[in-house]
A and B are shown apart, each in its own frame.
Chain A
Amino acid sequence: MIPSGEPAPRDPFNPAPDSGQVDPSSHDQAAPGSEHVEALEREIRELRNLETARIQFLALVSHELRTPLSSILTYAEALDDGTLGDLNPSQHEAVDSIGRAARQTLEMVDEILRYSRSGGQSAELRPETFEIGDLVEELRASHHSLLARKSLEFRTTIERGLPDLYADRSKAVHVLGNLLSNAIEFTPEGGRVEIGAESADGGGWARIEVRDTGVGIDPEDRERIFEEFVSVDEGVERRLGGSGLGLSIARRIVEMHGGDIGVESERNRGSTFYFTLPTVRYDTAAPAAGGDRESAGET
């Protein structure tokens, strides 16, 4: 809690213009005295408390929403399967819609919970060595039915000799899975989704891309979509889907690894989301022969 008499708490992500936050341009002013240092330390403590409270609040919300969701899903299922009597076709459609909306809400609730967990101070990376190809194959399998439902072509292009990744595998699954789900959702039927991986930054890093032939993203939205709980126009909201947290979690994970994440896109010509993760360094091993190994398949 903020003691009375202290400055009012501020949202660290939306500081007011006159918030008194450190202004880099003021460094040439008088050297900070102990009072100034104490004020800054107090401010840092307050911001940390605020962030902790925010994370706890999100966790609480995501837990509490599970009880009403149980009621909604129970009734939707029992009405749909006839346990509570027969429905006419319009009623069936309405109940189906309720069930789908509840499942979507549950996905958002899960996403908020993951976000709140990843935002805590205890969020740690557990890096291990693994092949990017295995990761891609795992995600292709788990997204198989979604790809098939929209008759999307799925291709992979992985650079031959690309070293294994050295990263937190479960978090890498989350990032790539999120990008792949978005690509599938926003690519029209019969389109193409592609995952590529190649070495980057002269070695030591892999650049992983998810390319789609979807609607694309306007230039002014390309940075904003990585912000959390961003208030966006309808187009981007559709692009994001869900809670608007998936990409902000992905960015947080990639940045925890020291990597970059971003998007290149042209309106109506598709998007390429990319991120970088560290690879294993083979100091004594000769680099493998160059060239791409390409596999393509319709899913």
Chain B
Amino acid sequence: MAEADAPVILLVEDDEDLRNAYRIVLSALGLRVVTADRGEDALSSLDAGPTDAIVADLGLPGLAGPRLVRSLRSAAPEAALAVLTGHDSDSLRRSCRAAGADVFLVKPVTARELKAVLEELLRSSSSGSPA
């Protein structure tokens, strides 16, 4: 279970089953997980406390896609930011990168794979090298 100094992950996913699956397994793997099912709620969560990394689904109701990525990046300039989507295209990858995403992940991604990616991003950012 998560230690008090474990990284805090904000997970933004509108699919309830996947949100729960990631929350349960990432917590069991030692991360502290905060969840949101909409982009607007995710921005409120960022205001509420420090966040080390964000995992955001792109296909949300309301604020979504590269616009969501831009908003998250603006609200949390220091956080590692991974986007997660079932829709893969070169133009979407470029848009998300330009909006501030550190990594673009195409579903399906398991919680363990997600944890490995986030740890790598956090290591890179703490050592000062680009992700």
Are B21 and A75 interface neighbours, CB within 8 A?
Answer: yes
For the complex, is B110 an interface residue (Cβ under 8 Å from A)? yes
How many residues in B have their beta carbons less than 8 Å from beta carbons of A? 18
Q: How far is the CB of B21 from chain A (nearest CB, A)?
A: 4
User: Which of the residues B24, B25, B28, B107 comes within 8 Å of A67, measured between beta carbons?
Assistant: B107
B6-33 contacts to A, CB under 8 A, are 15, 17-18, 21-22, 24-25, 28-29
Interface size for chain A: under 10, 10 to 19, 20 to 34, or 35 or more residues?
Answer: 10 to 19
Q: Which B-chain residue is minimally distant from A65 (CB atoms)?
A: B86
For the complex, is A54 an interface residue (Cβ under 8 Å from B)? no
Q: Which B-chain residue is minimally distant from A109 (CB atoms)?
A: B108
Are A106 and B108 interface neighbours, CB within 8 A?
Answer: yes
How many angstroms between the C-alpha atoms of A73 and B113 in the bound complex? 11
A1-48 contacts to B, CB under 8 A, are none
For the complex, is B87 an interface residue (Cβ under 8 Å from A)? yes
- Cβ contacts under 8 Å, A144 to chain B: none
For the complex, is A88 an interface residue (Cβ under 8 Å from B)? no
Are A67 and B15 interface neighbours, CB within 8 A?
Answer: yes
Are B108 and A81 interface neighbours, CB within 8 A?
Answer: no
User: Which of the residues A63, A64, A78, A106 comes within 8 Å of B112, measured between beta carbons?
Assistant: A78
User: Which of the residues B18, B28, B29, B87 comes within 8 Å of A71, measured between beta carbons?
Assistant: B18
How many angstroms between the C-alpha atoms of A69 and B106 in the bound complex? 12
For the complex, is B99 an interface residue (Cβ under 8 Å from A)? no
Report if A74-B107 is in contact (Cβ < 8 Å); known contacts: A68-B17, A68-B18. no
How many angstroms between the C-alpha atoms of A37 and B25 in the bound complex? 62
Residues of A whose CB lies within 8 Å of any CB of B are: 63-71, 73-75, 77-78, 81, 83-84, 102, 106
Residue pairs across A and B with Cβ atoms less than 8 A apart, 30 shown, are A64-B86, A65-B86, A67-B86, A67-B107, A68-B17, A69-B107, A69-B108, A70-B18, A70-B21, A70-B107, A70-B108, A70-B110, A71-B18, A73-B108, A74-B21, A74-B110, A74-B111, A74-B112, A75-B21, A77-B112, A78-B24, A78-B110, A78-B111, A78-B112, A83-B25, A83-B28, A83-B112, A84-B24, A84-B25, A102-B108
